[in-house]
C-alpha cells in the first residue's frame, strides 16, 4: 500500500475530497472489522489484548461480536508465560523495567518506608537529570529538585513510558547503544520493551 501525503496532493481541496471518498467507502464496506475475525476462528482464544495494554477484547458468544474492554487501573492485559488477563503490573513476568520504584520494593514495607525511599532518589544525580519508569507503564517519575519527593506523572493517552537501551550491545555498562527514554506510542513501547509476544 502506498501512503498518500499532503506533499503528493496538489491543492488542499483534493485532500478534503479524498477524505470524503475514503470515509464513504469505509462506511459502505461490507466486510467485518479485523477484530471480529478472531471471534469467527476456533483456533484463536476468545480473549486477546490490544497493543495498548490497558485494552483487551472478548467474543460475545451470543452474537459472535467483538467487545472492547478496559483493564482496571494498575493492571494491564498480559497473555503468555501461563498468564491471560488483566494482571497487576507488579506481577507481569516480562515487558516492564524490573528496577522501577517504588512499587517494585517489597510489598511488606510500610508506606512511610516507601515514601522515604522515593525522597532519597531525588538526591541521586542520575535521577535529577532524567525521568524514570514507574511500575505502571502509563506513568513515570520526575524529580523537581533534590529536596522533594519525585512527581508521579502520566504519559498522554495512547503512549507508554519507555526506558530501554538499543544497539548491538546496548546496555548501561557497555558504553555503546542508545538509551531511549520517554513516552512512546504503544507499538513502539512494545518494540523497545521486548513485549510484542505478550498480547
Q: What are the pLDDT digits (tens) for 149-172? A: 899 999 999 999 998 888 755 454
Max avg pLDDT among 10-24, 59-73, 75-89: 75-89
Residue 142 domain boundaries: 111-192
Kindly state whether residue 123 falls inside one of the protein's structural domains: yes
pLDDT of res. 146: 86
Helix or strand (DSSP H, E) at 14: helix 12-28
- Whether residues 76 and 43 share a domain: the answer is yes
Regarding whether 138 and 75 lie in a shared domain, the answer is no
- Grid coordinates representing 10 are 496538489
Instruction: Note if the pTM is more than 0.85.
Output: no
In a domain, 136, yes or no: yes
Residue at grid coordinates 511500575: 135
In terms of domains, do 84 and 117 share one? no
In a domain? residue 119: yes
What was the pLDDT predicted at 118?
A: 64
Query: Are the CB atoms for 133 and 161 separated by under 8 Å?
Result: yes
Amino acid at each position: 500500500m502506498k501512503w498518500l501525503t499532503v506533499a503528493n496532493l496538489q491543492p488542499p481541496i483534493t485532500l478534503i475530497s479524498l477524505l470524503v471518498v475514503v470515509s464513504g467507502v469505509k462506511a459502505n464496506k461490507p466486510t467485518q472489522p479485523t477484530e471480529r475475525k478472531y471471534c469467527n476462528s476456533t483456533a484463536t482464544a476468545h480473549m486477546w489484548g490490544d497493543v495498548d495494554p490497558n485494552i483487551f477484547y472478548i467474543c460475545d458468544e451470543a452474537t459472535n461480536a467483538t467487545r472492547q474492554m478496559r483493564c482496571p487501573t494498575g493492571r494491564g492485559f498480559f497473555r503468555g508465560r501461563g498468564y491471560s488477563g488483566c494482571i497487576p503490573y507488579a506481577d507481569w513476568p516480562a515487558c516492564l523495567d524490573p528496577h522501577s520504584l517504588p512499587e517494585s520494593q517489597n510489598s511488606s514495607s510500610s508506606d512511610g518506608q516507601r515514601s522515604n525511599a522515593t525522597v532519597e532518589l531525588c538526591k541521586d544525580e542520575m535521577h535529577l537529570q532524567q525521568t524514570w519508569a514507574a511500575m505502571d507503564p502509563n506513568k513515570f517519575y520526575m524529580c523537581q529538585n533534590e529536596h522533594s519527593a519525585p512527581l508521579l506523572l502520566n504519559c498522554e493517552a495512547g503512549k507508554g513510558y519507555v526506558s530501554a537501551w538499543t544497539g548491538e550491545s546496548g546496555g548501561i555498562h557497555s558504553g555503546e547503544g542508545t538509551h531511549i527514554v520517554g513516552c512512546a506510542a504503544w507499538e513502539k513501547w512494545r518494540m523497545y520493551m521486548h513485549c510484542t509476544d505478550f498480547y
